[in-house]
Structure 1
Amino acid sequence: MDQAPGSPQEPQDTHGLPGCYRHPGRETGIHCTRCERPICTDCMISASVGFQCPDCVRTGSGTGHAPDANRPRTIAGGTVTADPRLVTKVLLAINLVVFVLGAVNDRLVDALALIGQWPPAPFLPSEGVAEGEWYRLVTSMFLHQEIWHIAFNMLGLWWLGGPLEQALGRSRYLALYLISGLAGSALTYLLADPGQGSLGASGAIFGLLGATMVLMRRLRYDMRPVIALLAINLVITFFWPGIAWQAHVGGLIAGAAIAYGLVHAPQGKRRTLVQLGVCALVLLVSLVVVVARTLALS
């Protein structure tokens, strides 16, 4: 169980060194000079004397530096916020609202689902991404029809998204989610039958799963639970009928690639530039795939 900030107890390690109060699995001999809680190298913030923890800096520790100089940062360089699940809650709410609207009006599903190229019916124009409806690559990420589908995806979003948002920061986490989902849509558009409809947040959720693996590896956590979760989901992906495996694979690869760039970018002024470059590269590859497929179907 996570220990609440300000708790008088410190997580202890079997080797005698305490664990960081924010990352209990990390041994550390460094303590905050203000509250004396143990902090790891990712959490410690330079003060006029020694180091302080993010909570003391956020609440005003009187370090004498400019406010932004000692602003607490996540492992990826994002800003530590009071509500680390805000973006996750917003994404979850959008999915639920679209689900309800789609249940009320079936035409919404037809208008927003991912369709590469649907042959025109008599007296009706053709539709699909190949016909210029590129928005379907994004809108389909927030669309669900079956209650079990949205239930599984939203549980995955809550379980995986919250910790990732806290670890990466809001803007980086949102970029991870959206680009992973787009990459899943792009691979589906490339490989699936163009007349086969596809919808769901699964591509983005698999992106979160890939990112979780990268983050846990970076923090040197036990990888066995997340590897088992990935294995189970891959079995379902390839053996459960009616699943667009292309979206899952595309999202997984994109999420892992983006997360690697986010958590392994060098610290300093170049960090944000490197992170933007990785996100832009994955986005560019996805767009190239879409353009190539569109030209092939034209």
Structure 2
Amino acid sequence: MTQPQFVPPQPPTPECYRHPGRVSYIRCQRCGRPICPECMTAAAVGYQCPECVAEGVRTTRQNQGPYGGARSKNPALSSIVLIAINAAVWLATTLTGGAASWLAWWLPLHPVGACVLSSDPSRYLPGAGAVACAARDGLTWVPGVADGAWWQLITSAFSHIDVLHIGLNMLALWFLGPQLERVVGRARFVALYLLSALAGSAAVLWLSSPDTMTLGASGAVFGLMGALLVLVIKVRGNVQSILIWLAVNVAFTFTGGISWQGHLGGLVGGAIIAAILAYAPRQNRSRVQLLGLIGFGVLIAVLIVVRVLQLA
């Protein structure tokens, strides 16, 4: 006699919770219940059921984003302004000599100063200090952050020489910036951009050779990538596309001779900032976010000051 084979019970076919009998493999992004096409509403990531949409409307203040902050009427405005500033600095540098322009030496980030030829600042004397540089004619001392040129920590993020460099950075900013401003609001987006740039500068001070020169908005742009990754994880979205884009940029960083230190600092900084914004409790959210951003800014400042004291 043949023994009867055990057939495991099959899981029930998912049906729309509001319309029994309608098979649906789409689930609400927030509560996870199956919903049919008639019941689904497109959200920032995936779809939501009518109850979750109503709950979101009830708990979200009018004209307020999901992480606090007023919704921008034009989410691309901040990115347009940032692109315009970068373009203006690049144009001024190009018109005054490009790599030989004084802007190309006073605006980028120098951990320590450099002794350059007065007639051509693209040529310099390695190892010459400020005193030795001042003792010879035809030479000029260009200060670094350790010499008091603190402005370079932020102006370096708006400085470019090569047209391809600024083109790629501004293209990435144009694609990433409006998406993030639409979610976090204008003030938080600007804070994200500038703090990511400072985090990149701090990483350059600590991880790069003191006699290097670093410039470009890549640190801030990588901060936007890190922030977008955290926000996608927060809503349990598909991170595959952002990870692929990030991997391509990381590969280009190491194969193209670009400052990986600034990219790493910006990426980590942007991820931390996004975590502060996204995971702040709903109660007193704005206050927690503000204190978190101030605390992170103070941490960056302390790291910079400690490193500058070592270099000095």
d(CA) in 1 for partners of 2:54 and 2:252? 39
Distance 1:221 1:102, change over 3 A: same
Match of 2:208 among 192, 195, 202: 192
- Contact 2:72-2:181 at 8 Å conserved across structures: no
Match of 1:20 among 41, 54, 59: 41
Q: Which amino acid aligns with 2:74?
A: D
The aligned counterpart of 1:246 is 261
The aligned counterpart of 2:15 is none
d(CA) in 1 for partners of 2:254 and 2:301? 25
Alignment of structure 1 residues 1-298 onto 2, 5 Å:
14=26, 15-16=35-36, 18-23=39-44, 25-30=46-51, 39=53, 41-42=55-56, 44-45=57-58, 70-105=61-96, 106-120=101-115, 122-123=133-134, 124-125=140-141, 127-241=143-257, 243-268=258-283, 270-298=284-312
- Contact 1:23-1:40 at 8 Å conserved across structures: no
Q: Which amino acid aligns with 2:36?
A: G
Q: Which amino acid aligns with 1:211?
A: A
Deviation at 1:24, TM superposition (A): 6.2
> Which structure 2 segments of 5+ residues have no match?
1-23, 27-34, 117-132, 135-139
Q: Percent sequence identity over matched residues?
A: 36
Deviations 1:68-99 (CA, angstroms, capped at 9, x unpaired): xx432111111112211111111111111111
Q: TM-score, normalised by structure 1?
A: 0.80
- Contact 2:113-2:145 at 8 Å conserved across structures: no
Distance 1:13 1:20, change over 3 A: farther
Q: TM-score, normalised by structure 2?
A: 0.77
d(CA) in 1 for partners of 2:41 and 2:110? 49
Q: Which amino acid aligns with 2:261?
A: Q
Distance 1:213 1:156, change over 3 A: same
Distance 1:244 1:125, change over 3 A: same
d(CA) in 1 for partners of 2:163 and 2:154? 20
- Contact 1:27-1:40 at 8 Å conserved across structures: no
d(CA) in 2 for partners of 1:290 and 1:189? 7
Distance 1:245 1:131, change over 3 A: same
Q: Which amino acid aligns with 2:102?
A: R
- Contact 1:186-1:289 at 8 Å conserved across structures: yes
- Contact 2:105-2:142 at 8 Å conserved across structures: no
d(CA) in 2 for partners of 1:127 and 1:82? 42
Deviates more, 1:163-172 or 1:22-31: 22-31
Deviations 1:81-140 (CA, angstroms, capped at 9, x unpaired): 221111111111111111111111211121101011124453234510000011100000
d(CA) in 2 for partners of 1:155 and 1:13? 37
Larger Rg computed on CA atoms: 2
